[in-house]
Structure 1
Amino acid sequence: MIWNLLSAQPEIALFASLAIGYFIGSFKLGPIQLGGVCGTLIVALILGQSGARISPELKNIAFALFIFALGFTGGPQFFANIGRGWRYGALSIVEIVVVVALVLGAVVILKLDAGTAAGLLAGGATESAVVGTASEAINRLGLPAAETARLQANIVTAYSVSYLFGLVTIVLFVSQFAPLILRVNLRDEAERLWRKLGGDGALAAGQTPAAPPLSGRELRVTTGAGQSIGELEKRFGDNISVQRVQRDRAIIKAQPGVILKAGDCVMVGGRREALIEAIPMIGEEVFGGGVSDVFVERVDVMLTRSAVHGLTLAQVRARAAPADAHGVFVAAVTRLDSTIPALASTQVQRGDVLTLVGNKEDVARGAAKLGYVIRTTQKTDFVFLGLGVLLGIAIGRLSAHVGGIDLTLGTGGGCLLAGLLFGWIRSRYPLIGSLPSAAAQILKDFGLCTFIAAVGLSAGADALRLIREFGIALPVAGVVITLGPALASLVVGRWLLKLEVPMLLGAIAGQQCSTPAISALVGVTGNATPVIGYTITYALSNVLLPLLGPVVVGLASKLG
């Protein structure tokens, strides 16, 4: 009865796959969590036994929206990391070369077809988008419909099996095995690096500082009498800012030339360590002095100025004119939806989102010098979105004949490149192309999982056959394809490129596009230093790996 219902109304099978799949994917076993995509695929493979099928048009639309949004959100960081941060970017090249070599080796040894090879690539590299680009490539081989369906079914089956084992492998490798191989205490290394970058201590998992790094104090001037506000702020490296002065019940504008007098009440804000040092040299802390009603603005700013690209936060402040930097503090740096430490030695890149804190005038001035304020909006520019997808489809129709292999990007590859371009345009010209982060996330999550569910439903009947045919060979191949690039990058990154261990391991998690791996790694290190390396390789691999789908399909077809 239920089987007949699913077959008659496949939309029920689709949403059941999403709901049950995400429910299964939410469970954690230690640091391991399948996630919604893999959970959806497993459920779809089971429900696919009913004969429920989703129309190819819906599947293609869902994947086009997903891959465009993926490129759009990663565009600014992708272009920012080309030529800069090359030591980390080199690890993405290592990933691509090694993973393709291992997949082709598996094709020869196990005599895999093109679909199974592409599924191993997607699962071993833990990059779900490869399923879509490879499926499109299979569709263009000109094979009979039954053979095309069989090969596409093999993609998702091989992906589901190898992904499970690849995910476990990369999580355990970066968080447990790699530190043993390098003979380092990962937590101690992360704390040392945190201090080196300008941090003041490491945090355990789930901890937040009880004393925030940015704070304010209400003081009555005693020892600081006779100093000007400008001199006082300069004395502490502009890490404090006098926000308001009250003298004899009158409010005085806190300008650099104002001379403080004994008995003045001042509101001083800034970095906590500088503030603690400054208090004895200004006066005594009081409450109710008449200046405590000062409010600060907290504004997110997209960094677009090329002049500060690649500089550390300390260098950005040092090179800014005193009037521009006055009273502006960076509370957080967000890159590719990941928060990286806002420390003095943290390098910023075009496309980063800087959270500025200060009074309204100071923050507005600082934002204008760095980029543009990200306005809270729920509106999507559908003109921009529609044109981007259309351009992607047009690019996807282009083809090239290389070494006897016809290479075509397809809708997936074309929309990915168009998304990169349109995301970069948005970062340079912020008045056009609004795609709020929440909307982009919906497009990515719903688009990918709808596509995965549709493919899984159509592949259900062939899944058991492929598992019976190769048995344990698929899980073993998945582990090898995951472990090979990770080991190669560990050797190249540590002994050739001389990268710091926490950031190197974060970069290995990023080249694998593995969010569970970076989450487990941050939990072990106790701070966010691995995220600095993760964001660079994640931005590059998230673009390069999906483009390998058609390449592997073409090469595997020739070898087979």
Structure 2
Amino acid sequence: MIVELLKSQPEIALFTSLALGYLIGSIRFGPISLGGVCGTLIVALLLGQTGARIAPDLKNIAFALFIFALGFTGGPQFFANIGKGWRYGLLSIVEIVSVMTLVMIAVVLMKLDAGTAAGLLAGAATESAVIGTASEAIARLGISPEAVGTLQAHIVTAYSVSYLFGLITIVLFTSQVAPLILRVNLRDEAARLFRKLGGDGVLDEGQRLALPPLVGRAFRAGPAAGIQVAQFEARFGNNITVERVLREQRQIDADGQLVLQSGDVVFIAGRRESMVDASASLGEEVSGEGFTKLLAQRVDVMLTRRDADGLTLAQMRERASAQAGRGIYVSAITRLDTTVPALPGTVVRRGDVLTLLGAPSDVKRGAQRLGYVIQQTTKTDFVYLGLGVLVGMLIGRFGLKVGGVSLVLGTGGGCLLSGLLFGWARSHFPVVGSLPSAAAQVLKDFGLATFIAAVGLSAGPDAIKLVREYGLALPLAGILMVLIPGLLSLWIGRMFLKLEAPMLLGAIAGQQCSTPAISALVGVTGNSTPVIGYTITYALSNILLPLMGPVVVGLAAKFG
């Protein structure tokens, strides 16, 4: 009865796969969890034995939305990191070249078909989007529908097997094995790097400062009487700002030309360490009850200025004039929906979201100079979204032949490129194309999970046949396709690129597109310094690896 129900109403199988898959994927084994996508695939493969199938049109629509949203959100960071992030970007190239070479070696030695080869690439590189781009490429090989279905089933089966072992390998390699090879104490190295970048302490993951880095305090001017505000602020590196002065029961908005007088009650905001140094030069601290309507504003700003790209936060403050940078503080940096530590030595990139904190007038001035304010909206511009997906489908129809190998981007590759361009355009012309981050995340999560569930259901009994045919060869290949690129990147990054260990290991987790690996790494280091390297390689590999799907299919079809 259940089998007939699933066959007659496949939507039940779809949502069962999503619900149970994400439940299974949330179970943690130490630092490792399968994740919702892999969990969904496992459940879908099991339910696929009942004969339940999802219409191909739904599968194609879901994947088109996912891959466009992936490109849209990664577009600004992708283009920002192509040039100035070349040291980390080189590691993504190492990943692409080495993993493609290993896949082709496996094709020749193990006589892999195009589907199994593509699934091995997707699983070992932990990049689920390869499944979609490779599936489309297989459909264009000019073979029978039955053969197409078999090869597409081989993709998801090889993916599910190699993904599990690849995931475990990259998590253990970055957090445990690589530090032993480098002979470093990763926690001590991360603490040292944190201080080098301008941090004054190290937080364990999940903790917050009881003493916030940005504070406001009120003092009665004593030793500071007779000093001009601009001179006083410059004495402490402009890391504090005299916001307002209470003089004879009258409040004065302080500017750089104001001269402090004895008895003034001065309200100062700024960085805590500078505030501590400045307090001795001010006088007695008071409650500041006389100040009214003293507001602090927090605004998220997309950085678009070319001359700020590649600078550290400290360099940005040094290059700004005293008036332009006055009263503006960066309290957080968000890159690819990941929080990067906002330390003086942190390098910013175009496309970063800077959280500015300060008086409303100061924050407004800073936002105008740095980029544009991200409006907190829940509305999606469906004109922009629909046009972007349509352009992607048109791009996907174009292809070429290289050495007898037919390469066609397909809807997946086309929508990925379209998403990149539309996301980049949105970051430069923010008046159109609203796609809130929450909406984009839903498109990515639901689109990919639905696509994966559909291909998992269609795999059916072919999955079991493939596992029996190759046995332990696929898991072993998945492990080697993680270890060899990881070791190469470790050697190149340390010996030639001279990267700091925490950021190098974060970059290796990013080139592998592994969120569990960076989570484990942050837990081991005790702070978020590895995220700085992770975001750059993740942005590049997340775009380049899916484009390799059609390449693997074409090469494997010719040489396999």
For the criterion TM > 0.5, the same-fold answer is: yes
Gaps of 5+ in 1: none
Which residue of structure 2 lines up, in the alignment, with residue 40 of structure 1? 40
Contact 1:153 1:463 in 2 (8 A): yes
Distance 2:262 2:138 in 1: 80
Q: How big is each residue's C-alpha offset from its partner over 1:37-71, in whole Å with a ceiling of 9 and x where there is no partner?
A: 00000000011111110000000000000000000
Which residue of structure 2 lines up, in the alignment, with residue 107 of structure 1? 107
Determine if the alignment matches structure 1 residue 186 to structure 2 residue 170.
no
Which residue of structure 2 lines up, in the alignment, with residue 397 of structure 1? 397
Which residue of structure 2 lines up, in the alignment, with residue 146 of structure 1? 146
Q: How big is each residue's C-alpha offset from its partner over 1:308-329, in whole Å with a ceiling of 9 and x where there is no partner?
A: 1111111111111221101000
Which residue of structure 2 lines up, in the alignment, with residue 493 of structure 1? 493
Q: By how many angstroms is 1:293 displaced?
A: 5.2
Distance 1:159 1:406 in 2: 23
Q: By how many angstroms is 1:72 displaced?
A: 0.3
Aligned AA for 2:517?
Answer: A
Contact 2:267 2:288 in 1 (8 A): no
Distance 1:230 1:463 in 2: 71
After superposition, residues 390-539 of structure 1 pair within 5 angstroms as: 390-539=390-539
Q: By how many angstroms is 1:456 displaced?
A: 0.2
Gaps of 5+ in 2: none
Contact 1:187 1:524 in 2 (8 A): yes
Distance 1:129 1:56 in 2: 17
Aligned AA for 1:326?
Answer: R
Distance 2:137 2:475 in 1: 24
Aligned AA for 2:85?
Answer: G
Distance 1:150 1:339 in 2: 42
Question: Greater shift after overlay, 203-212 or 492-501?
Answer: 203-212
After superposition, residues 252-263 of structure 1 pair within 5 angstroms as: 252-263=252-263
Aligned AA for 1:97?
Answer: V
Aligned to 2:333, the other structure's residue is in SS state strand
Aligned to 2:460, the other structure's residue is in SS state helix
Contact 1:267 1:292 in 2 (8 A): no
Q: By how many angstroms is 1:292 displaced?
A: 6.6
Q: By how many angstroms is 1:218 displaced?
A: 1.5
Q: By how many angstroms is 1:448 displaced?
A: 0.3
Which residue of structure 2 lines up, in the alignment, with residue 388 of structure 1? 388
Distance 1:208 1:250 in 2: 37
Distance 1:102 1:269 in 2: 56
Distance 2:206 2:255 in 1: 41
Q: By how many angstroms is 1:205 displaced?
A: 2.6
Which residue of structure 1 lines up, in the alignment, with residue 279 of structure 2? 279
Distance 2:516 2:294 in 1: 41
Q: By how many angstroms is 1:284 displaced?
A: 1.4
Distance 2:124 2:287 in 1: 60
Contact 1:504 1:533 in 2 (8 A): yes
Distance 2:485 2:2 in 1: 44
Q: By how many angstroms is 1:421 displaced?
A: 0.3
Q: By how many angstroms is 1:229 displaced?
A: 1.3
Contact 1:265 1:289 in 2 (8 A): no
User: Sequence identity, in percent?
Assistant: 69
Determine if the alignment matches structure 1 residue 117 to structure 2 residue 117.
yes
Aligned to 2:225, the other structure's residue is in SS state coil
Which residue of structure 2 lines up, in the alignment, with residue 238 of structure 1? 238
Distance 2:428 2:193 in 1: 33
Q: How big is each residue's C-alpha offset from its partner over 1:170-217, in whole Å with a ceiling of 9 and x where there is no partner?
A: 000000000001111001111111111111121223222110110111
Which residue of structure 1 lines up, in the alignment, with residue 541 of structure 2? 541
Which residue of structure 2 lines up, in the alignment, with residue 57 of structure 1? 57
Q: By how many angstroms is 1:22 displaced?
A: 0.5
Question: Greater shift after overlay, 171-180 or 335-344?
Answer: 335-344
Q: How big is each residue's C-alpha offset from its partner over 1:502-533, in whole Å with a ceiling of 9 and x where there is no partner?
A: 11000000000000000100111111111111
Q: How big is each residue's C-alpha offset from its partner over 1:232-278, in whole Å with a ceiling of 9 and x where there is no partner?
A: 11111110011111111111121111111222111111000000110
Aligned AA for 2:127?
Answer: E
Which residue of structure 2 lines up, in the alignment, with residue 350 of structure 1? 350
Which residue of structure 2 lines up, in the alignment, with residue 264 of structure 1? 264
Aligned to 1:322, the other structure's residue is in SS state coil
Distance 1:284 1:154 in 2: 74
Aligned AA for 1:208?
Answer: R
TM-score (norm 1): 0.99
Which residue of structure 1 lines up, in the alignment, with residue 30 of structure 2? 30
Question: Greater shift after overlay, 262-271 or 408-417?
Answer: 262-271
Q: How big is each residue's C-alpha offset from its partner over 1:3-35, in whole Å with a ceiling of 9 and x where there is no partner?
A: 111111000000110011001111110000111
Contact 1:100 1:552 in 2 (8 A): yes
Distance 2:436 2:509 in 1: 27
Distance 1:74 1:221 in 2: 50
Aligned AA for 2:247?
Answer: R
Q: By how many angstroms is 1:288 displaced?
A: 4.3
Q: By how many angstroms is 1:285 displaced?
A: 1.1
Which residue of structure 2 lines up, in the alignment, with residue 200 of structure 1? 200
Distance 2:460 2:538 in 1: 31
Distance 2:315 2:277 in 1: 22
After superposition, residues 78-93 of structure 1 pair within 5 angstroms as: 78-93=78-93
Distance 1:407 1:337 in 2: 32
Determine if the alignment matches structure 1 residue 298 to structure 2 residue 318.
no
Q: How big is each residue's C-alpha offset from its partner over 1:524-543, in whole Å with a ceiling of 9 and x where there is no partner?
A: 11111111110110010001
Distance 1:312 1:451 in 2: 41
Which residue of structure 2 lines up, in the alignment, with residue 307 of structure 1? 307
Which residue of structure 2 lines up, in the alignment, with residue 327 of structure 1? 327
Aligned AA for 2:556?
Answer: A
Contact 2:333 2:341 in 1 (8 A): yes
Contact 1:190 1:526 in 2 (8 A): yes
Q: By how many angstroms is 1:289 displaced?
A: 3.8
Q: By how many angstroms is 1:331 displaced?
A: 0.4
Aligned to 1:165, the other structure's residue is in SS state helix
| CA gap 1:424/1:446 in 2 versus in 1, 3 angstroms | same
Distance 2:307 2:110 in 1: 52
Aligned to 2:131, the other structure's residue is in SS state helix
Q: By how many angstroms is 1:228 displaced?
A: 1.6
Contact 2:165 2:479 in 1 (8 A): yes
